[in-house]
Every structure is written in structure tokens, then in C-alpha cells.
């Protein structure tokens, strides 16, 4: 069965899924993505990663501010899609839009639903100390990430994982699960979706820069997760020896009984140990204001040579 697909996505996470649609043999008749936004120091209007990939492939691009208008629905219907695939698009799809494609709308979501519905499931999973994450291919309905699940892929979360590394792994898994779904539909198979359970629902609220501040009165293991989750954005930061630093890498270690949270317990080539509410946080990679990311060893050398 030849499939006419409209793809909707915006950030880098969506690009492997767009490529999976193109590689599947389906006809990608249009790509929907967010309007160009100011980016970089010059605040120049910049096309999304998905728009750049679509233009490179010669696919028509639509960038409505909203899908609520009759004009937006008419435009979408004019592409006569069999299926709409949505991956981190960033716009709400009204019920009338969901009804336009013959097979409805699919969503690739970066969590094991119903856990972490919403905007920032990758970082929230790391922050919570989840042992695993994954991607779900979901049949969309009107609620926020509430639709039944067609297919799922799982992956463990290690203590080495950051928001960036888990993002890249889940983007690849999302492309895999979408490719399987498309292949099965084009082979004439009827996909069976399982409803999400009512238990275990959590929401992954959008990240806020204010969350990046490290509170050393909290347990060190929680701060370690915060550092990992917020790499590469918004990057954790905290006060170390009276200086506000961005903290790129850190590990929870044993602390000193009764030490004041936030106090520096020691500096060495292995890292800077900072007392926490429980245990200590060993900072191994950091960034001074206006500087570049450096190792703790380089920071200690700079402190010695510059006198602070």
C-alpha cells in the first residue's frame, strides 16, 4: 500500500523520524514545522532543523502559527494525507485536525507512557532517577499524550547518561519504531493499539532555566542527576568557593559528617568535592563566567596560578 504522509516536527530530535518516513517508501507530501525563530547572538531568524532537512529533500514546507483556523485545516486536507506523523512538533493538534488523515495521526514520544507525558520527558526521567526510558509510537487523540500505544522500544538509563546522550539514543529508537509501524501498515497489517493504564501517570513539565541552580542542601545523588539531565541545556550552575560556576559533569561521592552544605571539602585532579545535605558532589567539568568548559584539574591549576 502506498502511503501519503504529512510529517510534523521541529527540533533535531525529529529529524531521524523524518528520514525514517522518507526511507520507508511512504510518500512524504508535506512537512509542517514551527515558524522560523530568532537564534544565536545576532538573533537572526533561523529555520528549524526539520525545515532544513525538508528543504534539502525538496519537500513542501508549511509553517502555520496555529492549526486552529479553517484555512490551516483546508491546507492540510489539500495534501490528502493517509497519515500524519507528529514528532516534537510543538503545536497542539485540534480534534478536527486529528480527523483529517484517513489513518489518523501518529506521535513518537520519548518516554514509556503514561510516565512523563508532556514537553521534557528525557530530562525528567534522568532527574527522577528512572532506571529506563524509551519511545512510544502512539495513536493521537485530543488529550496530551493520552492516546493508545502501537509500538514501544526501551533503553536503560545509566549513570553516564546525560540529557544529550539519552536524547540522541531515543531519537534513533524513535526512528526505528516509526519505521516498523510504517512497514507494517504498508504491508496491509492492522495495527492494534493498547490503551494507556490509568496508573503511573506523570507529567514532564517544560524545563525552566531557574531549575538549573544547584541547592547543596539537597542529597548529592539528586544534584548529580540534575547536572546530567541539564547537559547540554540549560546546564547546572552553583556557587563553588564564592564563585558561580556552570557545572557540566559531577558524581555523588561520600561526604564528611557534619560538613556545611556548599562548603568545599577538597580540590584535586579528580575533582572538587562539595558538601551536600547527604554525601558530597565531586565536580569534574565546569565553566567559569565568560570562559570555556574545562576539567576540574585545569580549574585547580588556574586557581593556583592566578590566585583565584
**DSSP reduced 3-state for 4:** strand
Cell numbers at 137, concatenated: 509510537
Query: Is residue 197 a known part of a binding site?
Result: no
Give yes or no for a contact between 212 and 235, defined as CB atoms under 8 angstroms apart: yes
Give yes or no for a contact between 18 and 6, defined as CB atoms under 8 angstroms apart: no
Query: Is residue 223 a known part of a binding site?
Result: no
Omega before 234 cis (within 30°)? yes
Half-sphere exposure at residue 81, Cβ-oriented, CA atoms within 13 angstroms: 27
Cross-strand bridge partners of residue 268:
271
Give yes or no for a contact between 234 and 211, defined as CB atoms under 8 angstroms apart: yes
Query: Is residue 111 a known part of a binding site?
Result: yes
For residue 248, give the nearest of 233, 265, 261 by alpha carbon. 233
For residue 88, give the nearest of 7, 187, 209, 180 by alpha carbon. 7
Query: Is residue 76 a known part of a binding site?
Result: no
What residues are designated binding site for (6S)-5,6,7,8-tetrahydrofolate? 111-114
Q: Which residues are annotated as a binding site?
A: 111-114
Amino acid at each position: 500500500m502506498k502511503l501519503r504522509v504529512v510529517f510534523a516536527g521541529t527540533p533535531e530530535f525529529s529529524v531521524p523520524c523524518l528520514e525514517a518516513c522518507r526511507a520507508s517508501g511512504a510518500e512524504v507530501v508535506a512537512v509542517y514545522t514551527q515558524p522560523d525563530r530568532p537564534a544565536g547572538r545576532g538573533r537572526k531568524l533561523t529555520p528549524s532543523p526539520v525545515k532544513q532537512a525538508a528543504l534539502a529533500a525538496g519537500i513542501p514546507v508549511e509553517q502555520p502559527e496555529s492549526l486552529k483556523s479553517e484555512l490551516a485545516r483546508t491546507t492540510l486536507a489539500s495534501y490528502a494525507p493517509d497519515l500524519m506523523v507528529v514528532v516534537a512538533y510543538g503545536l497542539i493538534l485540534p480534534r478536527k485536525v486529528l480527523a483529517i488523515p484517513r489513518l489518523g495521526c501518529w506521535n513518537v514520544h520519548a518516554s514509556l507512557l503514561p510516565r512523563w507525558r508532556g514537553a521534557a520527558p528525557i530530562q525528567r526521567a534522568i532527574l527522577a532517577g528512572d532506571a529506563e526510558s524509551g519511545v512510544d509510537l502512539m495513536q493521537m487523540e485530543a488529550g496530551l499524550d493520552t492516546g493508545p500505544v502501537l509500538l514501544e522500544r526501551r533503553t536503560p538509563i545509566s549513570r553516564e547518561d546525560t540529557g544529550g546522550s539519552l536524547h540522541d539514543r531515543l531519537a534513533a529508537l524513535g526512528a526505528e519504531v516509526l519505521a516498523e509501524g510504517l512497514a507494517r501498515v504498508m504491508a496491509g497489517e492492522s495495527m492494534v493499539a493498547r490503551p494507556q493504564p490509568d496508573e503511573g501517570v506523570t507529567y514532564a513539565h517544560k524545563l525552566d532555566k531557574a531549575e538549573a541552580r544547584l541547592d547543596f542542601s539537597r542529597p548529592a545523588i539528586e544534584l548529580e542527576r540534575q547536572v546530567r539531565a541539564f547537559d547540554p541545556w540549560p546546564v547546572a550552575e552553583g556557587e563553588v568557593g564564592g564563585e558561580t560556576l556552570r557545572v557540566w559533569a559531577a558524581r555523588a561521592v561520600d561526604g564528611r559528617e557534619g560538613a556545611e552544605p556548599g562548603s568545599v571539602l577538597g580540590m584535586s585532579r579528580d575533582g572538587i568535592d562539595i558538601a551536600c545535605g547527604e554525601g558530597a558532589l565531586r565536580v569534574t567539568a565546569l565553566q567559569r563566567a565568560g570562559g570555556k568548559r574545562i576539567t576540574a584539574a585545569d580549574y585547580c591549576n588556574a586557581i593556583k596560578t592566578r590566585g583565584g
